[in-house]
Amino acid sequence: MDKLKPKLFSVMKTYTKEQFVKDVIAGIIVAIIALPLSIALALASGVTPERGLYTAIVAGFVISFLGGSRVQISGPTAAFATIVAGIVAKNGMEGLVVATIMAGIMLIVMGLLKFGRLLKFIPFTITTGFTLGIAVTIFIGQIKDFLGLTLHTKPVETIEKLFACFESIATINLQALLIGAISLAILILWPKINNKIPASLIAVVVAAAVVKISDMDVNTIGSLYEISSKPPTFQLPKINLSMINTMFPDAITIAVLAGVESLLSCVVADGMIGSKHRSNMELVAQGTGNILSSLFGGIPATGAIARTAANVKNGGRTPIAGMVHAVTLFLILVVLMPYAALIPMPTIAAILFMVAYNMSDWREFVSLVKKSPKSDILVLVTTFALTVIFDLVVAIEIGILMAAILFVKRMADVADIQKWTDLEDEGSEDDLNDPDNIRKKKVPKNTLVYEINGPMFFGAADKFMDISLDSHVKIVILRMKSVPAMDVNALHTLNNVMKSCKKKHITLILSHVQDQPLKMMQKAGFDKSLGEENFCDNIDQALERAEMLQRTMTHHAAS
């Protein structure tokens, strides 16, 4: 059962000094990665650079402390950039604060109502396609800094960034490429030399030293961004009914996106460490984190897959790492900004290249393409492509829609209704040992028995009209032993069958109706219309009733 208990409180029972050291190192590395990302995402969102850091610090700490994942790292993400920019342009920063607070409240309510379990309905093909798509997006987004390119435009979309890099390839900075290559080599080779000290930390220190000592013409964090070192302060917005009405649609968008992306990030993280997150607690934590982030000058936050993957790859295994990441960013903001400013951007790009590769799970993707049905491959590839070309929201929406349609088709394909005479021809000699074998049952004269298999729902409702109602037929038995569920469409069709039977003076008998279909029939009053005596517990009782009715009809005809 998904408990509403922060994961931190559970893992601390077996926490060790060794794991604390790993969590601290992982948190510091993630903070180094999160620093330029938080700033860049703040600028893309139409707000000042420090607001991105405020988000990573406040929301990052609170969500790690209260969250339902062991390793989730939260902060500003690319999925929010265009949404936030639109809100700020129309309603200003105060409008964004109100929308984010409302979204946070919605997320808390969703968690308390146990909406987190709905994530299980997202197919594996979608999460796999989405994960690889995010990895490719991260990779493409870092090409500019790795090569030291000077872009002629400021693209936002992934494909636009790729085209912009091709158009500006002549501006390649060989010194930046050299630093990027050195950093990438360290990231690849260092783990073979020493597993205790993270390769990311070595790459950052070495690259920063080389650039500083050699006075190389390479962009660093300090050369690209001017950040205020003022710590986040509490600010209560002016909230009125008019503002709430105006921002309500935007609040829903933020809440849904934050919930879906954070839970998907949790699923990816679970796969990396073999754990299981508490989805409802994560939603509560995301809601609380977003409320406090907005009150301290931040923007909407959610689980960040790249930073979460970096946390895992660098040894983080408990929420302590996420909290250290937030504290580190705070210290960098108010104390260590001059030193953080020395980190070369090609090194950050190299680190994210490795993160993208490690999180991509491309082998699983290739395996699914080779071994899955064409319909699943279509969902997988479409989700991947839409994540890269558009964004996470579009990919999930279209992916789930396609998966749902394909599921309906599959269920409709397996659902059927057949006469027992047809089933007799399909039986094998081995079936004769089965006491329920239809060839051992005696069917009364003028009686037809139909076997229904699979769920009765709108996608297959038309199949249940294929029942012969010829003049010689007096009794029709529908055996529903293999019908686990039905919907209102199927019930409507069944009701039409019953009416047709009554018009032709044919008795309709239902055998072995399972709980869900029976409850639906009772709620709709179908059982009263059909007659409760025509509901039989099993096929033997149904055949006995048919035999009794046949004798009665024969007796009346004779008299």
Residue length of the chain = 559
Asked whether the predicted pLDDT for residue 40 surpasses 80, the reply is: no
- What's this model's pTM, rounded to 2 decimal places? 0.71
Answer with the residue of higher pLDDT: 422 or 478. Answer: 478
Q: Are residues 436 and 343 in the same domain?
A: no
Q: Is 255:110 a contact under the CB 8 Å cutoff? A: yes
Q: Are residues 300 and 444 in the same domain?
A: no
Kindly indicate the confidence band of residue 464, based on its pLDDT and cuts at 50, 70 and 90. low
Q: What is the mean pLDDT of residues 506-526?
A: 94
CA 231 to chain centre: 34
Q: Are residues 124 and 199 in the same domain?
A: yes
Examine residue 334 and state whether it is found in any structural domain, yes or no.
yes
Tokens of 193: 């030399």
Examine residue 374 and state whether it is found in any structural domain, yes or no.
no
Q: Are residues 327 and 432 in the same domain?
A: no
Final residue belonging to a domain, choices 360, 388, 403:
360
Place of tokens 């109706």: 513
Q: Which of 39-48, 64-73, 340-349, 472-481 has the lowest mean pLDDT?
A: 39-48
Residue type, position 536, single letter? C
pLDDT value for 438: 60
Q: Judging by DSSP bridges, how do beta strands 475-482 and 447-453 pair with one another?
A: parallel
Q: Is the dihedral of CA 305, 310, 314, 316 positive or negative?
A: negative
Measured in degrees and rounded to the nearest 5, phi and psi for residue 482 equal -105, 25
Q: Judging by DSSP bridges, how do beta strands 447-453 and 74-75 pair with one another?
A: unpaired
Domain of 515, CATH number, reads 3.30.750.24
Give the total number of structural domains in the chain: 2
Answer with the residue of higher pLDDT: 200 or 455. Answer: 455
What residues contact 205, with CB distance under 8 A and at least 6 apart?
A: none
Asked whether the predicted pLDDT for residue 466 surpasses 60, the reply is: yes
Examine residue 221 and state whether it is found in any structural domain, yes or no.
yes
Q: Are residues 250 and 331 in the same domain?
A: yes
Per-residue pLDDT of 194-215, as tens digits, reads: 876 768 878 888 999 999 999 9
**Nearest residue to 301 via CA among 318, 317, 325:** 325
Final residue belonging to a domain, choices 322, 345, 360:
360
% of the chain residues with pLDDT over 90? 46
Examine residue 402 and state whether it is found in any structural domain, yes or no.
no
Q: Are residues 342 and 432 in the same domain?
A: no
Torsion from C-alpha of 129, 134, 137, 142, nearest 10 degrees: -140
Q: What is the mean pLDDT of residues 108-133?
A: 83
Neighbours of 325 (CB within 10 A): 33
Tokens of 20: 């604390």
At 390 the three-state DSSP class reads coil
pLDDT value for 428: 46
pLDDT value for 162: 92
Q: Are residues 429 and 344 in the same domain?
A: no
Q: Is 411:459 a contact under the CB 8 Å cutoff? A: yes
Q: What is the mean pLDDT of residues 54-71?
A: 96
Q: Are residues 354 and 475 in the same domain?
A: no
Q: Are residues 141 and 226 in the same domain?
A: yes
pLDDT value for 559: 59
Q: What is the DSSP string of 93-154?
A: HHHHHHHHHHHHHHHHHHHHTTGGGGGGGS-HHHHHHHHHHHHHHHHHHHHHHHHT---SS-
Examine residue 20 and state whether it is found in any structural domain, yes or no.
no
Range of 446's domain? 416-558
Q: Is 294:104 a contact under the CB 8 Å cutoff? A: yes
Q: Are residues 344 and 421 in the same domain?
A: no
Burial class of residue 16 in the structure, from the number of CB atoms within 10 Å of its CB (0-12 exposed, 13-18 middle, 19+ buried): exposed
- Tell me how far apart the alpha carbons of residues 260 and 305 are, in angstroms, rounded to a whole number: 12
Torsion from C-alpha of 394, 90, 98, 392, nearest 10 degrees: 10
pLDDT value for 430: 45
Per-residue pLDDT of 327-351, as tens digits, reads: 999 998 888 777 778 889 898 888 8
Examine residue 392 and state whether it is found in any structural domain, yes or no.
no
Neighbours of 252 (CB within 10 A): 14
Examine residue 261 and state whether it is found in any structural domain, yes or no.
yes
Final residue belonging to a domain, choices 316, 342, 360:
360
Q: Are residues 349 and 453 in the same domain?
A: no
- Tell me how far apart the alpha carbons of residues 207 and 200 are, in angstroms, rounded to a whole number: 11
Q: Are residues 347 and 493 in the same domain?
A: no
Examine residue 451 and state whether it is found in any structural domain, yes or no.
yes
Place of tokens 């009701």: 495
Kindly indicate the confidence band of residue 433, based on its pLDDT and cuts at 50, 70 and 90. low
